[in-house]
Amino acid sequence: MLTIAEAWRYQVCVENNVDYWGADLRNFIAKNFNHCASECARDSAKGCRSITYHKGSRRCYLKHTPFGATYKKSQSLLKSANLDCDKFSKLPSWPADFKWAFAGPPKGYTCVKIWEAASPAAHTWNDNFMCWRNDRADPGFRWSMAGAIPGQRCTQIIEGAEPVKYTWRDNFLCVQYNSPYHLSWTFSNALKDRELAAGKACIQWLEGADPHTWKDNYLCNKPYNGAYVSNSLPSWPEDFKWSNAGVPRGYSCDRIWELATPAKYTWKDNFFCWRNNKADPGIRFNMNGAVGNSDCVQLKEGAAKSWMDNFLCVPPTSPYTFSWVYSNALRDGQQRDGKKCIQWIEPADPQTWHDNYLCHYPLSYPDRRRHKSVQRRASSVGRAQVCTEDNVDYWGADLRNFRAKNFNHCAMECAKDTLKGCRSFTFHKKSGHCWLKHTPFGAKYTKGKNDLMSANLNCDSFSKLPSWPADFKWAFAGPPKGYTCVKIWEAASPPAHTWNDNFMCWRNDRADPGFRWSMAGPIPGQRCTQIIEGAEPVKYTWRDNYLCVQTNSPYHLSWTFSNALMSQQVAQGKKCIQWLEGADPHTWKDNYLCNKPYSGAYVYNSLPSWPEDFKWSNAGVPAGYHCDRIWELANPAQHTWKDNFFCWRNNKADPGIRFNMNGAVPNSHCVQIIEGAEPAKYTWKDNFLCVPPTSPYTFSWTYSNALRDAQQRAGKTCIQWREPADPHTWNDNYLCHAQVYSVDARRHRSNQW
């Protein structure tokens, strides 16, 4: 049987020992797991979004939500999977991923309710919806039956034959201003034909029970292939905001308005908002009951009778699980449970709208590709942000251990030791023992440890570039704990000068800044700074050494090799980090790397997926890619290794891949790059490809087709590294990895899809 990827062009993301319970479409006895997945792919148009497979009985359950109705771990006989999980961060394509429904939300879809309160009940507008696949990012469609929504781009939805008393002239479908959807509306076939002639595709809105010609109405848009949304979802509470005075600057919003409330109570300008540099969280207020196929919380104010049917809803894949309270006493209870609450206040409403709150557990960088029960809660400890994982052990990579008073005491000690490299900790819930770690997940990540609780420190900065100079450090005696480094060395320098243990480093709980070292000229396709010491003898070849970054890097480095030059840099507003190597006698005591002070920005691009975002090149840097150079200097020039690169798409975050031709780099995960047929004099036996300790990638290397075949049988995909000019059998060498999609820097490699 063909795999899913081959037969159906779907990607299936598997979770072993997990049950996506409920939300069933149908069930049957399958031949095997792949057969189960194939049937879901066939039923995709009927709403199949995920599967659960019983490993003993082979029974297959097809589901109409990406995680079923309830997510259950530790189910050893079950295996579950999402269909098309690589599209969770992709906007729905028009028209393929959208659907109109006039009899309730269809299975497998998330919807916005389309209704007009003034329309007679017999016209049945109460069950009409505009929908999109529930395994796609939220497109941000919002409905208003009382005029255009301020701060949004709105399309009037009108049917000229509707009597004025049914008030269809003030109905609008709205999107945010930066939306890629540019909707248009037609209410006749002739107008629809014009839209088609203009290259648009149209979806019919049909309501057979309304007698006023709702049979020739269409919503149209240019065909659109949904783009990936690289922005993260908003964190709670810091990225959300309530406003009772219109849309605040820098935010996107959903309007909160109960039409039955008197105008003098001024609900028309009330909004619940999130930062506009975040992905749309899919929050929608509904004043006529909960929306099917959504997770809704009732927004109730006991003193306001017209609020009894008002709900705030999110899609079934949403990581948010809101709760609502309408008294300070109830809010205090929520806060004792560890939740953070945002007040919803409307001073003009006399019905006690001063003690109403929407609450949620602190949540940092929620991930739409994970069930809400598996999202990592965040809490503040001092000035640090702590993301907690219960029943998980970050084993190893210990700095020190001690008996703590409680979990918070353990966290505070890690925060105090951050300059010593503390990045995470594990706490024993019974004995109170606390282990401080120098990597964000320890050395080994183990689930199912019921007595333990672990947490990252500063987890809100995992996707943030390191700030200059605070997050960087020079090291001349090996990589310091808590840091990721690029090796700085010159092969021609005598061993007594000890350049083999010199590193330029940055905190290992930050995004990779893309620093790369070359001791043989600037790296093509990168912006390079010459690292030179004029006092070094020519024979030590320091004049062709460079530190490089990608051309779009926010770091603009400069180099000085005297105190006078460094003072000039400081006078220009730069901050400098000293590069000191005491064992080198050639004045390596007044050398500095400088840059303007820089507060590290968040990297919203996802890490590259394997294998589709990676590429090998033996002829320079390919267009549209960033690369690391793969070059063994001991190889003869005619073998042309100088122009060999391993690359990733330049719209992805830097994966931190670095080739080292002088051994594995400490504090990194390295795989040996070897070709057995290479003569010893070409020194390929000490070549390694390394990634940071937080990297989600776990590469393996093969140097024969037989070994590659074994990797593929194990489920890995391999990319060939080929250099035709090298005669030593560089035609069967491969870097391999299991398929990973939309890789997340905030998760341990064992938990990647």
Q: Alpha helices, DSSP H only, in 533-629?
A: 563-571
Residue 377: predicted pLDDT: 65
User: What is the mean predicted confidence (pLDDT) over 81-93?
Assistant: 83
For 687-735, the pLDDT digits (tens) are 999 998 888 899 999 999 999 999 999 989 999 999 999 999 899 999 9
Q: Between 710 and 377, name the one with better pLDDT.
A: 710
Rounded mean pLDDT of 645-649? Answer: 95
Distance between CA atoms of residues 77 and 539, nearest Å: 66
Joined together, the tokens standing for residue 567 give 């003072």
What's the confidence (pLDDT) of residue 5?
Answer: 36
* Nearby residues of 50 by Cβ (< 8 Å), 6 or more positions away: 20, 40, 63, 65, 66, 67, 68, 80, 81, 82, 83
Two tokens at 506? Answer: 């940055």
- Residue owning tokens 């479409």: 25
Per-residue pLDDT, averaged over 557-582, amounts to 96
Q: Check: CATH 3.30.70.1140 for 376-461?
A: no
Task: Provide the pLDDT confidence category of residue 273 given band limits of 50, 70 and 90.
Answer: very high
Strand order across the 575-578 sheet:
558-560, 592-595, 575-578
Predicted confidence at residue 749, as pLDDT, reads 72
Rounded Cα distance, 133 and 128, in Å: 16
CATH topology match: 4-87 vs 376-461: yes
Averaged pLDDT score across all residues of the chain: 90
The pLDDT score that the predictor gives to residue 647 is 97
559/603: higher pLDDT: 559
* Nearest 10 degrees: Cα torsion 665, 670, 676, 682: -30
Query: What distance in Å separates the CA atoms of residue 627 and residue 376, rounded to the nearest whole number?
Result: 32
Q: Distance (Å, rounded) from C-alpha 330 to C-alpha 346? A: 19
The architecture in CATH of the region 4-87 reads: 3-Layer(bba) Sandwich (3.50)
Strand partners, 526: 550
**Confidence check: pLDDT of 450 > 50:** yes
Beta bridge partners of 401: 435
Q: What mean pLDDT comes out for the span 504-529?
A: 94
For the stretch 26-43, pLDDT in tens is 999 999 998 999 999 999
CA distance 282 to 675: 51
Cα 217 to chain centroid, rounded: 38
Query: Strand pairing partners for 447?
Result: 392
Task: Please tell me the predicted confidence (pLDDT) of residue 2.
Answer: 30
DSSP-assigned beta bridge partners for residue 598: 468
Percentage, residues of the chain above pLDDT 70 = 95
Average pLDDT over residues 488-500: 92
Instruction: Judge whether residue 360 has pLDDT over 60.
Output: yes
Tokens of 395: 């084993």
Per-residue pLDDT of 144-173, as tens digits, reads: 999 999 999 999 999 999 999 999 999 999
**pLDDT band at residue 271 under the 50/70/90 scheme:** very high
For the chain, the domains span 4-87, 98-221, 240-360, 376-461, 472-595, 614-751
Q: What is the C-alpha to C-alpha distance for residues 273 and 275, in angstroms, rounded to an integer?
A: 7
In angstroms, rounded to a whole number, what is the distance separating the alpha carbons of residues 489 and 526? 19
Q: Left if phi > 0, otherwise alpha if psi is -120 to 50, otherwise beta: which for 13?
A: beta
pLDDT digit string, tens, across residues 413-444: 998 999 899 999 999 999 999 999 999 999 88
pLDDT for 7 equals 33
Whether 375 shows a pLDDT value over 80: the answer reads: no
The residues, any chain, with a CB within 8 Å of residue 11's CB and separated by 6 or more, are 4, 5, 84, 85, 86, 87, 739, 741
